[in-house]
Amino acid sequence: MSGAPSSSLALRLTAFALLVVFFQIGVVSEVPVFGVNADISSLLVAFVGLLCGSTVGAACGFAVGLLVDLALLQTLGLTSLVFTLVGYWCGRLRELRDPQAALTPLLVGGGASLLSLVGYSIVEFMLGVDAPVSFELLREIVLGVLVNTIVALPMWALTRRALEGALPEDPRRRRSRRAYTTGGLSPLTKRT
């Protein structure tokens, strides 16, 4: 994305992120599936990055992570750091590859969940939080990734629907259209 996000995108993204974070804290966290809770806030950050690019994805990750940390009264900035990396990584995926494949939401949802769960665990361990590192942690990470991968498709559809109409243009499509309209020649080359 070459410029700043439009005000329409920022407004929609703010409203949708607030709704998702409070729904995550109030409803989803109270319903365990296979002994773990789905994390739709990390999926939101991943899909915003995939739809809007790395800059918007990283900014959304920071804001959503900070909101989660403030709402849950936990170590301030920990979730922000992890979600910023998730949003940036998914945005770079959008900028480098074509995210239009049918399995993209599942793969990105699973990868983002794995990155957020492992990243959160590593940073907590480095900060000295007294939590046992055992096969129970590994089981929770694997089950968390599976549950989030299942929830990824509906979350992808909701995110696309909420941001539809305000999404930025894909830079790869803009480049290909410009090359087509100029006949593939650079405006600086001489025609003979």
Question: Is the pLDDT score of 176 beyond 60?
Answer: no
Is the alpha carbon torsion for 31, 81, 69, 23 positive or negative? negative
- 186 in a structural domain: no
- 80 in a structural domain: yes
- 187 in a structural domain: no
Number of structural domains the chain divides into:
1
pLDDT of residue 181: 53
Helix 104-126 and helix 40-52: axis angle, to 10°?
Answer: 120
Domain that holds residue 57: 7-181
pLDDT of residue 131: 67
- 73 in a structural domain: yes
Mean pLDDT, residues 68-76 taken together: 90
Chain-centroid distance of CA 113 in Å reads 9
SS3 assignment for the chain: CCCCCCHHHHHHHHHHHHHHHHHHHHCHHHCCECCECCCHHHHHHHHHHHHHCHHHHHHHHHHHHHHHHHHHCCCCCHHHHHHHHHHHHHHHHHHHCCCCCCCHHHHHHHHHHHHHHHHHHHHHHHCCCCCCCCHHHHHHHHHHHHHHHHHHHHHHHHHHHHHCCCCCCCHHHHHHHHHHHCCCCCCCCCCC
Longest Cα pair distance anywhere in the chain, in angstroms? 74
pLDDT of residue 137: 86
- 108 in a structural domain: yes
Residue matched to tokens 């590859």: 97
- Please say whether the beta carbons of 48 and 163 come within 8 A: yes
pLDDT of residue 126: 87
Residue matched to tokens 């809770």: 37
- 163 in a structural domain: yes
88-105 pLDDT, tens digit each: 999 998 888 877 777 888
- 16 in a structural domain: yes
- 135 in a structural domain: yes
Mean pLDDT, residues 55-81 taken together: 93
The CATH number that applies at residue 175 is: 1.10.1760.20
